[in-house]
Amino acid sequence: MAYIISELHGQYGGKIAVAEQMILQSKFGGADAVKVQLYSEDFDKNSMDGDSPGDFLSLTFEELKSLKEYADMLHIDFFASFFDEERMQWCIDLDLPYLKIANWISREKPELVEKSIATGKKVIISLNNEQAKKGKPYEAENVIYLYTEPLYPGRLEDMHIPNFVDSWFSGYSDHTIGNTAATYALARGAKILEKHFTVGKSWQKTKEGGHACSMDVDDLRQLHEFARGFSILEYKKVFQYES
């Protein structure tokens, strides 16, 4: 069954209590993991769209530790994307199960990607279609690849979702509105599915569409049921074939 990741940033709005609420709802909705982003001062000043995510979205080490402990209590995996080496070390110190490389980092900071891989921990890297055309950038056994397009929101017309059954991509990080693209990825064999999560899509305030392209708990439940159903049908197909 596909591993579903619920991305909390920046829909938690800088409020730890809201982040905890989102972790709880993600657990109830069927997510296997929740993820946050650890912004650096460098990213704040030179972000991809020219706008700073703001100090209110930045997490301290103690806040990160607190959220991990809350997720541990609920028995849901917790990990993070990071934008500098210091915050990568936070993830290592807390023994988070994965190191996540955001698409911006994969394009702009290859040295940080290489340092992440060198730790020996499992590293999940998001690549867009233009990067994918160049082939697999790293051959290390601890690297897992997700296809994505860093558009907020993304259009279905701009997606190039591969057939994951015969691709070196393991899954898909979705930023489109609704569940269509995510469901399509599951149907094409995605083993990992990542999508932003929101408590309420009506919280949308900016043109970027962060809440609009996020899933709420009902969307998450639907994706969980699709993933479960596809897994059952695939198992049945293999079992019948082997019989």
**pLDDT tens per residue across span 143-180:** 999 999 988 889 999 999 999 999 999 999 999 999 99
- Number of Cβ atoms within 10 Å of the Cβ of 22: 25
**What's the pLDDT at 238?**
53
What is the rounded CA–CA span in Å between residue 210 and residue 201?
9
Q: Number of folded domains in the chain?
A: 1
- Number of Cβ atoms within 10 Å of the Cβ of 6: 29
What is the span of the domain harbouring residue 7? 3-242
- Report the CATH number at residue 112: 3.20.20.70
**What's the pLDDT at 204?**
47
Of 199, 239, 154, whose CA–CA distance to 29 is shortest?
199
Cis bond before residue 120 (omega within 30° of 0): no
Confidence of residue 53 (pLDDT cuts 50, 70, 90): low
Say which residues have a Cβ less than 8 Å from residue 156's Cβ, sequence separation at least 6: 176, 180, 181
Q: Which residues of 126-149 are buried (b: 16+ CB within 10 A; e: fewer)?
A: bbbeebbeeeeebeeebbbbbbbb
Whole-model pTM over 0.75: yes
For 111, what's the count of Cα atoms within 13 Å in the CB-facing half-sphere? 2
Q: Angle, to 10 degrees, between the axis of helix 217-242 and the axis of helix 180-187? A: 20
Confidence of residue 213 (pLDDT cuts 50, 70, 90): confident
